[in-house]
Amino acid sequence: MIPPGHHLKTRLEKDAPSKPKPDLTFITVRTTIISISIALTISIPITIKLFESLLENLVINLGEQSSDEIPDPLPEATPDTPPKVTLDSSPKVTLDPLPEVPPESSERFSQNRVCIPNSCNGKYAGSANFREAPSLSTLVIKGVIPVGECVFLTGNTAHGDNVIWHEAINETFLRRSLETAAKNQLSANQLGWIADCFIE
């Protein structure tokens, strides 16, 4: 019952707005964008550093190999003028030119051309170090001559570090030495030294 002086009114009102349910597509897109931005923030500086390092190594390697040219025929050997060898870290070296018998030029070339064997003093050696000076120091390694490749002997020899060394010209490009102090000057037709045990 309704008390006197009052009446009953009914009115239709909207419900209070409720929070919408999150859209899974929106959540997935937002999470993906955040993940990608974090990954890019981390990986871009690392990628730039790696690229700079690669670029520096490439420039260094190109600088070393820029002097490499297509090999020309070997020059005539002139054993009359031994090269000047100066190294502070190696013992004093004395040059002993071999007695020269003047054969015909084609005979002389074949007699002075030596191919690298696969052993040195009876021990297996996959290659021979080609050195700037007659010394066992790794600082003078120009590169490596693989087994089977040939060198042209100039006729000059030297004694250093209890080894007899032969002066030679490499006919082909040298391979890179694994020694960290090696110079790795890999071009062909360089003047250098090779240990006596590789000369057959």
Higher pLDDT: 97 or 50? It is 50
Residues 126, 188 within the same domain: yes
Residues 42, 112 within the same domain: no
Is residue 73 one of the residues assigned to a domain?
Answer: no
Q: What is the pLDDT of residues 44-84, one digit of tens each?
A: 888 888 888 887 777 666 555 544 455 555 555 555 555 55
Are residues 79 and 100 in contact, defined by beta-carbon separation less than 8 angstroms?
A: yes
Domain count, the chain: 2
Residues 102, 54 within the same domain: no
The residue assigned the tokens 């018998």 is 101
Is residue 80 one of the residues assigned to a domain?
Answer: no
Range of the domain at 122: 94-198
Q: What is the mean pLDDT of the chain?
A: 77
Residues 134, 40 within the same domain: no
DSSP string, 113-147: EEEPPSEETTEE-SEEEEESSSSS-GGGEEEEEET
Q: Alpha-carbon distance 150 to 148, whole Å?
A: 6
| SS3 label, residue 19 | coil
Residues 98, 185 within the same domain: yes
Is residue 14 one of the residues assigned to a domain?
Answer: no
User: At residue 11, what are phi and psi to the nearest 5 degrees?
Assistant: -140, 145
Is residue 89 one of the residues assigned to a domain?
Answer: no
Weakest-pLDDT range from 15-24, 100-109, 164-173, 180-189 = 100-109
Question: What one-character DSSP code corresponds to residue 196?
Answer: G
Q: Where are the beta strands (DSSP E) in the chain?
A: 94-97, 113-115, 119-120, 123-124, 127-131, 141-146, 150-160, 163-170, 191-195
Is it the case that residue 108 has pLDDT exceeding 90?
Answer: no
Run of H or E including 100: none
**Cα angle vertex 163, ends 102, 68, to 5°?**
70
Confidence of residue 89 (pLDDT cuts 50, 70, 90): low
Question: What one-character DSSP code corresponds to residue 80?
Answer: T
Q: Quick check: pTM over 0.85? A: no
